[in-house]
Chains A and B, each alone.
Chain A
């Protein structure tokens, strides 16, 4: 090994050979220092300053408790997750632990046998401590393949208490009441009700829930397509009816647009997770005392239903340090770590563990205290939520859920009705045909 001290100077300048030898020496010295220490590569989509600060604090504690390990954070965005995952698997260079990927994506990975078993983590954290749907959504062929790290549902209706009161209305509980409230609150530059009508993931997410709320299913428990049903037609008719009270650009709306329209006060009602709490407090505090939330209204004679993401934590097959990654995953569920991360987005990140949901420390935050009843309601809704991966108790684990969701067919069906003015019956039949071809493929 050559160190800098061995490098000879030729005149006033370093010789080329000396510089090269020095660089090689530095590289080898660095390698020697790194020997015996494991660097865990952790992927997350949560890279905003509050989240990064929390990750760093949590991983700092982990590194102190596990001096042989260090954690390197690598960010991805929801839009490029497939591109990054595909490249990582192709290069056989996958990270050790991946967080925040939705259940649909995990289903596709499971379908391709690209996940390490996760039973050790679930058992170490305590299987009984998870809310059952959040635990079982990742049970596949008798094994856990991932864990719900935290969760949120967008099947809530955020509303302006002042605007509804002025219209003499109570928060809507059914679709019919929602249409009435939307019409009554559409005044001046305020739109009564925002919904996503774009060819986006939020539209697909909401459509799954609307079909469930009307008593239908996308895929039946026997594996046949359930989409071409009176429930889907009813959902599409409702969307068609409420569409005129949405902002004009709603046919391109996704998560950010829906949230902004409500936070800025331009929409009287909007579906969302608990994100508006922190956003309104930061960006439009004058309406902070005039917002509240209920479970999203459902079809009269239908059923209450909630859809959520089940933000996952899993180890991809081929990870270099599986045992250490499991230790890191377990650490992320420890009370202090878990609550610290949840409260980076108060009310938005909701717990997957019952003990955390019941812990007063979760509400040790001024916004969480102010909106405690609303947050507790959202925790209950989230705990009762499902999604396309497992639509009912009787449904098997749907490995094609990712294909259906990513194909955009659900959002396309909505767009067929509101943009292309197709009849709901025709649109439901067309969507069902496409889903059938996806299931067949």
Chain B
């Protein structure tokens, strides 16, 4: 009996082993390596390093650029997530209703999400261009402005522009998630509400929103995590400028590690980011557990 149990345990361990191995190699090792690097002064070029304890973190905390990058990251993340939610929910509701060419529209709405970031940024940079951009051309033609605007060269315009492009690029994710949930809300709920004389707004507030709460909390958390570490879109749009007006933490990591060749300092920023994101993870786990418990 005991022998059989041991064999079962062994089999179980063997079955779990590949997963554990992948987890160790792909997640634990890089994580540990980042932590170790953040405690060293390491040259990106030679990889020669010297243990400096918490020095990298001390320097970061005293550096106004780090503080500014953190504030920028929070502004970008909050702005982009809120806008994605508003646009995503609105579009999902539109696509859920009866609409001519609905299937085609559902396909087209995914387009920004499928477009490579580099291509999307090129297109937007062209639209925002101060001398030849269509936006300036249209506004000038409409008589709304007298001189071209520098969308990406002044603050807060640059941050607003980046947030708009980020929202445009990533809102289809919200559409997909919300639309899927909308389709599974029983029609009977709306029929009952209509029989009781509920207005469309009341139906939305009292049926749709509560039904969407579960999926929305997951979407918000995932998008917040992904946007918090977004690099390519912002870097390609503004390079972190003007001055360091749109410089976020991932851009700071890149600058420290690959422009200043200070791998340790870059790793320290990454670890700081990880700590911030840990907060998101904690919220995510709590929400997930709550959702599982309530069966949503």
Give the interface of A toward B (CB within 8 A): 82-83, 85-86, 89-90, 108-109, 112, 114, 198-200, 247-252, 260-261, 264, 266, 403, 406-408, 412, 415-416, 419-420
Contact = CB atoms under 8 A, between A and B. Distances in A.
Given A248-B150, A250-B153, A419-B243, A403 B131 contact: no
Contacts of A415: 241-243
Contacts of A407: 259-260
Contact of B239 (A82, A252, A412, A416): A252
Contact of B130 (A85, A249, A408): A249
Contacts of A109: 45
A107 to B, nearest CB: 12
13 contacts: A85-B45, A114-B45, A199-B240, A199-B244, A248-B147, A248-B150, A249-B131, A250-B130, A406-B260, A406-B261, A408-B255, A412-B244, A419-B154
A89 B42 CA distance: 14
B193 to A, nearest CB: 52
Contacts of B261: 82, 86, 108, 403, 406
A416 B259 CA distance: 20
B217 interface: no
Contacts of A260: 131
B45 A412 contact: no
Nearest to A253: B153
A251 B155 CA distance: 11
B45 A108 contact: yes
B241 A199 contact: yes
Given A112-B43, A112-B45, A406-B259, A251 B244 contact: no
A440 B129 CA distance: 40
A317 B153 CA distance: 41
A416 B131 contact: no
Contact of A200 (B46, B148, B239, B260): B239
A248 B47 CA distance: 42
Contact of A198 (B46, B155, B239, B258): B239
Interface string B91-115: 0000000000000000000000000
A84 to B, nearest CB: 10
B44 interface: yes
B218 to A, nearest CB: 34
Contacts of A199: 239-244
B241 A89 contact: no
B241 A251 contact: yes
A403 B259 CA distance: 8
Query: From DSSP, what is the main secondary structure of chain A's interface residues?
Result: helix
Q: Which bracket fits the contact residues of B?
A: 20 to 34
Contacts of A408: 255, 259
A17 to B, nearest CB: 27
A82 B131 contact: no
Contacts of B153: 198, 248-252
B34 to A, nearest CB: 16
A358 B260 CA distance: 40
A370 B101 CA distance: 59
Contacts of A406: 259-261
Nearest to A84: B258
B152 A252 contact: yes
A184 B261 CA distance: 45
Contacts of B240: 199
B238 interface: yes
A118 B275 CA distance: 47
Contact of B243 (A83, A90, A200, A412): A412
B157 to A, nearest CB: 10
Interface string B129-156: 1111000000000000001111111110
Contact of B131 (A85, A108, A198, A247): A247
Given A85-B45, A86-B261, A415-B243, 10 more contacts: A82-B44, A82-B258, A114-B45, A198-B242, A199-B242, A248-B148, A251-B242, A406-B261, A407-B259, A419-B154
Contacts of A249: 129-131, 150-153
B112 to A, nearest CB: 23
A88 B243 CA distance: 32
Contacts of A251: 150, 153-154, 241-242
Contacts of B148: 247-248
A82 B259 contact: yes
Given A114-B46, A406-B259, A406-B260, A248 B149 contact: yes
Nearest to B237: A252
Interface string B241-265: 1111100000000010011110000
B27 to A, nearest CB: 21
